[in-house]
Structure 1
Amino acid sequence: METNQQTSITDPIKTKDLDLNFVAEIKQQSGVNISRCLHCRCCAGGCHFHMATDYPPNHIIRLVQLGFRKEALESSTIWLCVGCNTCSVQCPMAIDMAAVMDALRQTAIKEGAALAEPDILNFHKDVLHTIKRHGRTHKLEIMMRYKARKLDLFSDFVVGTKMFAKRKLHFRPSKVKAIDEVRKTFKP
């Protein structure tokens, strides 16, 4: 008795689609030698957002190493990384993934890559705006700007009240004393 099995055949990888200089470009831009990655996946084990991303951090490194420029620059992972450095602390090679993700985000913006998270760039701009204004992030201001732009003010109301109760959100921003020093970093 024969079974009717269909095999799925994927398109072969074409070397003309690979950017073999991509790893050197990201290394130069981030200051991180990602070729040292052992692909042990410790970074993924430490990442708080691993389940929400399309690739774990070490897969992003592998995409860059192999020259998959488009896939790396269009992934949601580079935008969902919050730069907490938990992955870097877990990494036996001390690879600064936050710097790598930042270099990838900058490259994606510069090249006009399709963003996997459509409104994430505006969110990042809101975060930077509060840092420029107060010297550090003001979560309530960031959240209110984002929600107002989306015309979605009340969907997270319950979560917001819980954050206020736990003192995770504050009505008034705290400011750093040397605000002029912080603002200098924003000048070209």
Structure 2
Amino acid sequence: MNEVMDEVVLEPNYDATKRILALSGIQPELCYQCRKCTSGCPLTFAMDYYPDQIVRYLLLGLEDKVLSSATIWVCSSCETCTTRCPNDIDIAGLMDYLKQQAHAKGLVDPRQNLTYAFHKAFLEDIARRGRVFETGLMQRYMLSSGAWKAKLADGTLWDEIRLGVALWSRGRLPLRPRGVRHLAEVQRLFAKPTQCREKKDTSASL
């Protein structure tokens, strides 16, 4: 018996791509689906949607589907896709933009996304001190992601602790964090755009 399935007709919806152009300067609408980005990407084996599919979904207005995908976090920003694109679409930059939007909308859970958990812990460390403190970084990553539970269960946690002790004994893993001389300059990079504009307006009026 043949099952009759309802067909869903999707029409182009450029609301998402217009926002992307306004906020990032990237134009997904230039894509004509040659798939060179996907054929050159070294990480498609770990993606739920290929890069060309991500762009296609955006052109169809399926932004929530894209922001909830694993692909945008699997992307390593190697820029192979950007280099191969015949229409010069910054696809790697697009993936970065989508990560930012997923974070801003609260669609990512550190305990469900280890890449996001590490990314978040890394940037928080930079914002706090201006440089990474490896010992503290790994502790925060393990706790925020819950990865320590899986490593404890399979025994690899003890291997990593032994490795950490070995690195510390050779002076390769400091126990005390160090900052940078001009921390305020680094922290300004993490300021929200609205805050930056307010500072510019204030200085201009003085």
C-alpha distance in 1 between matches for 2:10 and 2:87:
31
Residue range with higher mean Cα deviation, 148-157 or 25-34? 148-157
Unaligned runs of 5+ in 2: 193-206
Alignment-derived partner of residue 190 in structure 2: 186
- Equivalent in the alignment of 1:53: 47
> What is the CA RMSD across the aligned residues, in angstroms?
3.5
2:129 is aligned with 1:128? no
Residue 183 of structure 1 aligns with an amino acid whose one-letter code is Q
Residue of 26, 32, 43 corresponding to 1:32? 26
SS in 1 for 2:76: coil
TM-score with structure 2 setting the length:
0.65
CA distance in 2, matches of 1:177, 1:46: 41
Deviations, residues 126-166 of structure 1 (Å, cap 9, x unaligned): 121233245455666544422234133555566896xx99x
Which whole-Å CA distance do the structure 1 matches of 2:4 and 2:107 have between them? 29
| Bigger RCO (CA 8 Å, 6+ sep) | 1
Task: Count residues in correspondence.
Answer: 176
Q: Which has the higher helix share?
A: 2
Partner amino acid for 1:184? R
Question: Does the 8 Å CA contact 1:70/1:113 hold for their aligned counterparts?
Answer: no
Aligned to 1:146: 141
TM-score by length of 1: 0.70
Q: CA deviation at 1:8?
A: 5.9
- Measure the CA separation in 1 of the matches of 2:80 and 2:133: 22
Q: For the Cα contact (< 8 Å) 1:132–1:183, is it kept in 2?
A: yes
1:31 to 1:12, Cα distance in 2 relative to 1, 3 A: same
- Within 5 Å, which residues of 2 pair with 1:62-77? 62-77=56-71
Counterpart in the other structure of 2:92:
98
Letter of the 1:35 counterpart? E
Q: % of aligned pairs identical?
A: 30
Q: Using the alignment, how far apart are the partners of 1:116 and 1:43 within structure 2?
A: 28
